[in-house]
Amino acid sequence: MTLTLLTACIFLLHLLGILTAMHAVVHTRTPQGAIGWVLGLVLLPYVTLLPYLYLGASRFSGYLALHSTTLTTTKAPAGDRSVEPGCERFASIAALQGRPFLAGHALRLLIDGNAAFDVMIAAMASAERCLLVQFFIFRDDALGRRVQHVLLERAAAGVEVCVLFDGVGSRDLPHHYIAALRAGGVAIHPFATHRWRNRFQLNFRNHRKIVVVDGVRGFVGGLNVGDEYLGLKPPLAPWRDTQLELRGPAVADLQRLFAENWQWITGTQPTLLPTPRCDGIASALIVASGPADTRETASLFFTAAIDAARERVWLTSPYFVPDAAVRAALQLAVLRGVDVRVLIPSRPDHQTVFLSSTLHAHQAVRAGVQVFRYQPGFLHQKALLVDHDSAAIGSMNLDSRSFRLNFEVSALIVDRTFASQVEAMLEADFARAVRMDESEYHEAPYLRRVAMHVARLFDPIL
């Protein structure tokens, strides 16, 4: 009897595995991913069925409908000035976003955690009507309590304070931190959903960092709320990162993105304030991406930006795991004589992705890309510089997780003055970096080289 029951269970698991494999063939985005899931689900369903619920399925139809509705009902702020002519090179990115570049922005480049958080916390403290705050990571440490204090103070002053954090990125955040904010009148929620089925989608994370103060000032970049982002936690200290402050019509797009996430989670809309006219002249486009997109937006963004380069394209990212499209764009840029540089860390925060990044960097070096390793500490900034007039700052990494699995946001700026500031910042970074050559791979121990190739097998989820 026991043997018969066991046989029936095994048969049922394999049947479920075959049915789930059919779902994987239809819905997995890449052929490699589909092959991996099919083999696992058919041959070892008792091992792979549960992980597929967490890692393989994607159910964002409701979010997609909400996103489409928001795009059609939210008008872009009127611009009083013509955008920079250089914006024409990025027409495909604007079409991808369904929104035009807008002129009339004032910008401030915020380099590293102390300077950035001093400005952001002061901006939060100045909120009078509505404060929208979203980070991938919140920690209950000194910086986390500074942010908590200003959120509570603003809520006590009658300001509408809405806070989002990622449930996985902030998995160590204690309940009492959240409870104290809620008790003080702050509306705070993790990026999860009341739809029970979506609770399994742990592989899709909200990696965005957005702060909007009264619809006037907006912030995007790579920083999260934790002491390590101030460079206070060895061995990754000092921590190298960048944030961007914007004033102007693009702030309305940051509000809209926050509102989409907020409505997806809570079913309600936060207050959306009109964005006033700004005296700045820079042109900007907010580039948003996520697993709900019908296209691989982040990968297409990098590919189009690299293809637009005629003189140089400089990229910085903590993780260098480019897909085939981005690899090809980098190689073609080298072939047409563009100065292509990539800055990555010399210290790992995640060993698997570091090993895969090292192999990809080696292959890029062989293709003529100049790859540099930042030496003083961990490099976490996500910056892009194209020619002498365009730059982007945001949350997008050069990896499959940012390309396909995470919700991300960056600001693409066309303005010579701002690009020159980013150039100076990156030149200082390259001055503190060591250029890679092929010896890093060839002189590595054999088992380490094997480990690099094994790590590359996990590229789709890195």
User: Mind telling me the catalytic residues?
Assistant: 207, 209, 214, 380, 382, 387
User: Considering Cα of 356, then 359, then 361, then 367, what sign does the dihedral take?
Assistant: negative
By CB atoms closer than 10 A (0-12, 13-18, 19+), residue 74 is middle
Beta bridge partners of 372: 343, 435
- Distance, in Å, from the CA atom of 417 to the CA atom of 284, rounded to the nearest integer, reads 13
The identity of residue 295, as a single letter, is R
The identity of residue 260, as a single letter, is E
- Distance, in Å, from the CA atom of 146 to the CA atom of 162, rounded to the nearest integer, reads 17
Residues contacting residue 293 through CB under 8 Å, at least 6 positions apart: 64
- Distance, in Å, from the CA atom of 200 to the CA atom of 192, rounded to the nearest integer, reads 10
The identity of residue 142, as a single letter, is A
Contact 68, 98 (CB under 8 A): no
Residue 247 is classified by DSSP as E
Residue 370 is classified by DSSP as E
Give the number of other Cβ atoms within 10 Å of residue 430's Cβ: 16
Nearest to 298 by CA among 319, 275, 269, 272: 319
The identity of residue 267, as a single letter, is G
